[in-house]
Amino acid sequence: MYLARQSIKVIKAMLRERNLSQSALSDKTGVSIGQVNKTITKLKRGFLANTNPGRGVRLVDEERLFLTIGAESPLRAGFRKRYFVKGGLDTNMGKVGRALGNFKYAFTLLPAIRYYSAAASGVTISLHISKGDIPGALARLDQLDSGGGVPVEVYDANDGILFDRVKRRGLYFVSFEQLIIDLFRTPQLVYLGMQLLNEYKAGRKHG
């Protein structure tokens, strides 16, 4: 079941807020009502969503949905280079953020979990940088590389990451919902995606 970028935007809105109508989903995402309806039809055929008259649309099997997305579009195919920066993770986020402040980039995966989730673990900074900015960004990171310390991994960015960003403490991170999807798209981190999804759903019930 292939899901285009616009469909992923609709799915994230459905994850963020349940029981929205098709017109509300279109308004919140900027996706045409026709594309929203196509997405919902595809999800319903896969038994991944249902509609209730007067109560909108909701996802019914998020875990299976994200496992499907992850199998179709694994995230980390674009690995470029690994650096090591001396100091702690929070300090290095600041160093890297200042060094790359003029580039279009996003922190994602494990570093973001530290800010979003009780499932926090890991000390790797993963950067997804648009291809046109890669040479300049690598040159900046060359100046920070100390040969030891916190790993900083650089990947070619794709639109699935960079079109959905939020700012935390002056640094860009993927949104919470995109983080869940990205974890499911990284085979060695699917278990964290499941933890985070369950945590998210529990918080949503009480929110």
The Cα–Cα gap between 117 and 159 comes to 24
pLDDT at site 122: 62
pLDDT at site 95: 86
pLDDT at site 160: 59
pLDDT at site 110: 63
pLDDT at site 84: 93
Can you name the residues that pair with 57 across neighbouring β-strands?
A: 20, 51
Phi first, then psi: give them for residue 86, nearest 5 degrees: -70, 135
Phi first, then psi: give them for residue 199, nearest 5 degrees: -65, -40
Domains recognised in the chain with CATH numbers? 5-60 (1.10.10.10), 76-203 (3.30.460.40)
pLDDT at site 141: 94
Cα dihedral 89, 181, 191, 126 in deg (nearest 10): -20
H or E element, residue 128: strand 125-129
Low-confidence ranges of the chain (pLDDT < 70): 1-2, 75-77, 109-122, 158-163, 168-171, 204-207
Instruction: Look up residue 60 and give its DSSP letter.
Output: S
Among 61, 47, 53, smallest CA distance to 22 is for 53
